[in-house]
Amino acid sequence: MTTQTEWQLKQKKIKTNRKKGLKALSSEQKEALNLAHQSLVTVLGNIQDMEDIYLSDIRDMNTAMWKIRHEFEINPEDYYE
């Protein structure tokens, strides 16, 4: 039997809490999050193409997009990036 590190235990707790939270969302809430995430991905791509915006803004939007994707386990294969 292997002993889990403090980091592994913390990550396990985070994942468990995330799954509980996702189960508590209604289908409408999940759809809204998926739409918002997809919009962030699209807008972020367009902004990067324009290259006429502060890099810090792009960084902040990219951070938001990845946090939503990670926290809500959004599958990127559900839409085109």
Residue 1's pLDDT is: 62
How much is the average pLDDT of 2-8? 90
Tell me the residue range of the domain where 52 lies: 33-81
- Residue 15 located in a structural domain: no
> How far apart, in whole angstroms, are the C-alpha atoms of residue 17 and residue 21?
6
Q: Establish if 16 belongs to a structural domain.
A: no
At 60, which amino acid appears?
Answer: D
Considering just the CA atoms, what is the radius of gyration of the chain in Å?
16
What is the total count of domains within the chain? 1
Lowest mean pLDDT among 24-33, 53-62, 70-79: 70-79
Contact predicate 21/27, CB 8 Å: no
* DSSP, res 2: P
Contact 38, 69 (CB under 8 A): no
In a domain, 5, yes or no: no
Q: Give domain status of residue 20, yes or no.
A: no
